[in-house]
Amino acid sequence: MSDNPTLEKIHQTATAEFLEKGFQGASLRNIVKSAGVTTGAFYGYYSSKEALFAALVEPCAAAVMGRFMTAQTDFAQLPKEEQPAHMGQESGDCVDWMIDYMYSHWEAFKLLICCSSGTPYEHFIHNMVDIEVEYTFRYIDVLRDLGHTVPELDRELCHMIASGMFEGMFEVLRHDMPKERAVRFVTRLREFYTAGWIKIMGQNS
């Protein structure tokens, strides 16, 4: 993670502390003591426990959110008449990438998804859901522009559906599922939700 041995040790001990106790339960005093540095030395690197946690998770959080946004915008920028045929393709490729990336950065994602209560990162999944819902309604507008009949859908219902998908996807991490099984699990989950979306949008004929 770093070419600085002291910083690397701080990161290692902090990761272990956060994984064991979560952000709120973690003790900065224990992290500093386990790393073998003084509190003054620690503050030479980070201003707070919050800043340390962010350093451990932000690169991965930013990478995943960036890839997720790219998938959403790439789909939305397709010509309207091409979007129905691509429904689920870009998002499926994105999910496959996310699973691979998540398993390549396992500890950072465990921190992000399982240990971030009390930090801004506790809203990470919720933020993804909000984006998914926004782009879902944009797609519904496209379908209507193309002459498709789409039933009126409640935004809260769409939020619940999207939340179920993303929470389910990250369950593989919460349960320490082996990657091969996780890939199968998430593929079936995605197939289930895609079929459901097609059904409630009235596009299954």
Per residue in 143-161, pLDDT (tens digit) is 999 999 999 999 999 999 9
CB burial class (10 A; 0-12, 13-18, 19+) of residue 88?
middle
The alpha carbon of 164 is separated from its chain's Cα centroid by a whole number of angstroms, namely 13
Residue 85: the pLDDT is 87
Can you list the residues of the chain whose pLDDT is less than 50? 1
Residue 1: the pLDDT is 47
Name 67's Cβ contacts closer than 8 Å, sequence gap at least 6.
94, 97, 98, 101
The DSSP secondary-structure symbol of 153 reads -
Residue 2: the pLDDT is 59
